[in-house]
Structure 1
Amino acid sequence: MSTTTKLASSGRRPTAVERLYDVADWYDAESLLTDDERRVLGRLRRFLDDQARPLLGEYWERGEFPEELRQPLIDLDLMEPAELTADCPARGIYQGFRIFELARTDASLATFYTAQAGLFRTAIRVGASPEQQREWMPRVVDFSLKGVFSLTEPEHGSDIAGGLATTARREPGENGGGWVIDGAKRWIGGAATADVLAVFARDVADGQVKAFLVPREAPGVVVSTIHRKTALRMMQNAHITLDGVRVTEADRLHNVNSFKDVAAMLRAMRSDVAWIATGIQAGAFEAALKYVREREQFGRKLGSFQLVQEKLARMLGNVTASLSLVVRLTEQQERGIYRDQDSALAKMQTSLAMRETVALAREVVGGNGITLDTDVARFHADAEAVYSYEGTHEINALIVGRALTGASAFTK
C-alpha cells in the first residue's frame, strides 16, 4: 500500500512530500514540518537506512563507533541546512525531529550528533560572549571546531552543582593572563575525537563555576576511553584527567560566571534528550511491530494475538504521549519560554515511557528480542544510559517538585 493510500484510509491529507512517520506519529506531529524540512529529514532517513543501519549490529557488539559514518553524517549539513536557513536559523521543530530520526535508528548516533549540535553548541550559544560566538559558532555548525561538554566528574554527577571539584586558578599576565586547571571529568562522549573540551571548573578565588575551551591535546590533558559498557556501546565515552592544564583568558567562556549559567545550558539540553528518549521509543516500537507482523506461532501471525496487540497499543500510547510532550515543549522554547521544570518534566516523563516501551518491545519479540538481529535489543540496552544522563529521574522529579511546591527537597 502506498503512503498516499495509507494516508487516505486513515483520514489524513497527503502532502507534497511523502510522509516519514506513518505509524509512530499517530497524531501527525509531522504536519508541523514544512516540505523543505521533511526533504532534509528524508535525506537523513536515506543515509541512515542505506549506510548506517547495516553496520549497527556489528559495531554495537564490538563496542566501536563506525568511523566510516562520521564524515558522511557531517556532510549531510543537518545542523543549519542551507535550504532551511536563508532568512533565519533552522526551526526548533525541525531540530527536534532531526534528533528523533537519529534516535529511532540508533541511540549512539543520536548521542554522537547531539554532542556537537546540542551540548557543545549550547555551551557556545549560552556561555560565549558575542565576540566569541562570532568567532566560534560558524566553526561549530560546520564541524571544523569539534567540541564536547565536559561537566560530569568521577565522584560528582547528580550533585555537580555543589560538588564540582575541578578547579581553575587565575594567573596574572598579558592579555588578561591565563588559568591553570586541575581535576577530572567522566562519561564525556566523543572526547577522544574532539578538538576542544568545554571544561567546567570552580574558580579557587571566588568559588564560582567558570568554563573554558581546553584543547584536547594540551599538555596535562589525558583522555581515556571507558570500556566494558552495556549501553551506548558504540558511543566512545571518556575519562579525562587535567593536571596543571594552562589556558588563556581568551579561551574562557565569558558569560559563564556561576552554576546558574550552567543551569541555563542544562534546561535547553534536556529537551534534546527528551527527543532522544522519544525517538528510541519509536525505533523499538517500529522494530517490534515489523517482527510481529512477520513472525508466526501456533499457525498465526504474532500480531493477531490479543495480548500482543495490547502491548503494541501501550507502546504506541507511550510514543504518542512523548512526541506530543516534546513538540509542545519545543514550541514553548521557540517563543523564548525556557524553564527548568519544563525541560525536567519532559526528560523525566519521556524516559519513564521509554523504559516501559523498550521492555514491551522486547517482550513481544520473545527470545529473539535479546539478539541484535531485530534491533530491539539495541534499543532495550541503550535506553538505560539515556534514562540516566542529563539528569536522573530523581533529580528531574525534584526540579519539578520544587516548582510545584516552592520548596526545595534537594539535600544540602
Structure 2
Amino acid sequence: MTTAPDETRLYGDVDPYCYELLLTDPERAALARLRAVLDRDVKPLVNDLWDRGEYSSSILEPLAALRLMDPVGHDGGSSGPATAQPDPVDGVSPPEESRALFRGFRTFEIARTDVSTAVVYSGHVTLFRNTVLLGGSPEQVAELDADMRTFALTGVFALTEPDHGSDVARGLETTARREGDEWVLTGAKRWIGGAAQADMLAVMARDEADGQVKAFLVDRADGGVRIEKIRRKASLRIVDNGHVTFDGARVPESRRLQRVNSFADVNRLLRSMRTDVSWMATGAQAGAFRAAVRYTGERQQFGRPVARFQLVQDKLATMLGNLTASLGMAVRLSQLADSGGFSDADAAMAKAWIARRARETVALAREVCGGNGITLDTDVARFFADAESIYTFEGTNEVNQLVVGRSITGLSAFVD
C-alpha cells in the first residue's frame, strides 16, 4: 500500500484500495474538470468567506456551469455497469440520471475542498431536486427539471422546525389549509441552508384536513414568507442558514408535489439524502487528511519534519484507515442504489458510522498540526468545525442508530 500521489489517478493519495477504478473514464474526466474548477475558482475563496461567515454566489456559479447533473458516460457502451433508473410513473419515464456512484464521488470531490460548498451545492442538487424528482408528478418533473439542471431554477429543502428536529415526523407543526385552488401555509422552518438565495423552498407541511404531511414548492418572494439569517454559528459558516416563517404564504395546487402524501413519502426522500451526507463526511476526511499530510511533511521540529515522529505517523495511519473504511461503505451504498436500492437501515448505518469516523479523523488532523491547527491557514480548522454539523444533520447519531437497531431486532426503541 502506498499513500504517495499516483499521477494516473485522481485519488491516489486518499484511496489506497483504488475504489475510484470503479468509475468509468467519462466519469473520471468529469470529476477532473470539477477538481480544476474547485482548485482555480473556489478553494482560494473559502477560508476568507468562512472567516467572515458570509456566503458568496462565486462558489456556486462555477460549479453550476459544469452541468454535473447531466448524465455522464452514456456513450455507446463505455459507461460501465447499467444503472437502475427510477420506474416510470403513470407511463412517463423520469429524466435519465448518472450513476449513484458518480454522484457520490461528485459530492466527495467538493467536500474534500470545502464542506460548506458541498452543503450549498447539495442543497439544490440533492435535497431540492430529488424532492421534485421523487415527489413530483411526471408533469411537474418535466416542467421543472431542465431549469433545475442548469440552476436557472434553484431551491432548498425545508423540513426541520424550531421545536422539531429528530421528532419532526410526529411533531411537525407547519400547517397547510386548502382554499379553492390554493394552499395557505402557516408555521416556521429552521436551519434551512441557502433559503435566502433560493427561488423556491420545498416545504413539508401538515394538511389540516387529513393530518398528513404534504410537500409544497413555495416561492421565496411570496409576501407571506420571511427569512432571517441564523448568526453566530461555529460550523458551516459559509452556508447561509435561515429561519423561515410562513404567515399565510399562498401556494397554487399545481405547486403541491403530487407524490408526497404522508411522512412515509417524506422518508423516501430522506433516504437518498443520507447517502449524500455519507459521501460528504467521507470527503471531509479526505480534505483533512491531505491537509495534515502536507503540513506534517513541511513543519520542522527538533531538526526534522514532524511527519517522522512515531506518534504523528500513528495518527496519520488511523486517519487513513478511517477514510478508507468510510469510502468503502459509501461506495457500496451507492452500488446498491445503482442496482436497485437499499433500506432505511442501510442508509442510516452508513451515515451514523461514517459521521463518527469523520469526527475522529478531523480531530486527529487538528492534533498533528499543533497550535497552527486552530488557524484557517492549514485548512484543518474548517474541516474540524464543519464535521460537527455533518454529525448532526440528516438524522442525529442517536436516531440513525435506532433505525439500525430496529432493523436488527425487529423492535422499535423510539419513544411511543
TM (normalized to structure 1)? 0.94
* CA distance, structure 2, for counterparts of residue 147 and residue 57 of structure 1: 25
TM superposition shift of 1:178: 1.4
Structure-2 residue corresponding to 1:122: 130
The one-letter code of the counterpart of 1:133 is V
Aligned pair partner of 2:118 in 110, 122, 130: 110
Structure-2 residue corresponding to 1:311: 315
The one-letter code of the counterpart of 1:313 is A
Structure-2 residue corresponding to 1:382: 386
3-state SS in 1 of match to 2:238: coil
TM superposition shift of 1:121: 1.1
* CA distance, structure 2, for counterparts of residue 295 and residue 272 of structure 1: 35
Moved over 3 A (4+): 83-88
Judged with a 3 Å threshold, the aligned counterparts in structure 2 of structure 1 residues 120 and 6 are, in CA distance, closer, same or farther, namely: closer
The one-letter code of the counterpart of 1:260 is A
3-state SS in 2 of match to 1:290: helix
Work out whether residues 190 and 236 of structure 1, in 8 Å CA contact, stay in contact via their aligned partners in 2. Answer: yes
Structure-2 residue corresponding to 1:10: none
**Structure with a larger share of its residues in helix:** 1
* CA distance, structure 2, for counterparts of residue 308 and residue 257 of structure 1: 53
Aligned pair partner of 2:330 in 319, 326, 331: 326
Q: Is 1:146 the counterpart of 2:154 in the alignment?
A: yes
Aligned pair partner of 1:91 in 99, 115, 120: 99
Structure-1 residue corresponding to 2:373: 369
* CA distance, structure 1, for counterparts of residue 302 and residue 168 of structure 2: 54
The one-letter code of the counterpart of 2:154 is K
The one-letter code of the counterpart of 2:16 is W
TM superposition shift of 1:142: 1.3
The one-letter code of the counterpart of 2:156 is V
* CA distance, structure 2, for counterparts of residue 256 and residue 316 of structure 1: 41
The one-letter code of the counterpart of 2:14 is A
Structure-1 residue corresponding to 2:285: 281
The one-letter code of the counterpart of 1:307 is L
Structure-2 residue corresponding to 1:133: 141
3-state SS in 1 of match to 2:156: strand
* CA distance, structure 1, for counterparts of residue 285 and residue 401 of structure 2: 21
* CA distance, structure 1, for counterparts of residue 57 and residue 122 of structure 2: 16
Structure-1 residue corresponding to 2:404: 400
Q: Is 1:52 the counterpart of 2:42 in the alignment?
A: yes
Work out whether residues 285 and 316 of structure 1, in 8 Å CA contact, stay in contact via their aligned partners in 2. Answer: yes
Structure-2 residue corresponding to 1:11: none
3-state SS in 1 of match to 2:205: strand
Aligned pair partner of 2:12 in 8, 14, 22: 22
TM superposition shift of 1:220: 0.7
* CA distance, structure 2, for counterparts of residue 72 and residue 120 of structure 1: 19
Structure-2 residue corresponding to 1:68: 58
Structure-2 residue corresponding to 1:159: 167
TM (normalized to structure 2)? 0.93
Structure 1, residues 2-30: CA drift from partner, whole Å, max 9, x if none?
Answer: x9x965xxxxxx8xxx3111111110001
Structure 1, residues 109-139: CA drift from partner, whole Å, max 9, x if none?
Answer: 0001111111001101111011111111222
3-state SS in 2 of match to 1:395: helix
Aligned pair partner of 1:191 in 179, 195, 200: 195
| Aligned ranges 1:171-320 → 2 under 5 Å | 171-172=179-180, 177-320=181-324
* CA distance, structure 2, for counterparts of residue 384 and residue 89 of structure 1: 31
The one-letter code of the counterpart of 1:293 is G
Aligned pair partner of 1:39 in 19, 29, 33: 29
Unaligned runs of 5+ in 1: 8-13
TM superposition shift of 1:67: 2.4
Structure-1 residue corresponding to 2:89: none
Taking only aligned residues, the RMSD between alpha carbons, in angstroms, comes to: 1.4
Work out whether residues 55 and 66 of structure 1, in 8 Å CA contact, stay in contact via their aligned partners in 2. Answer: no
Farther-moved stretch of structure 1 (122-131 vs 269-278): 122-131
Unaligned runs of 5+ in 2: 77-95
Count the aligned residue pairs. Answer: 395
Work out whether residues 148 and 190 of structure 1, in 8 Å CA contact, stay in contact via their aligned partners in 2. Answer: yes
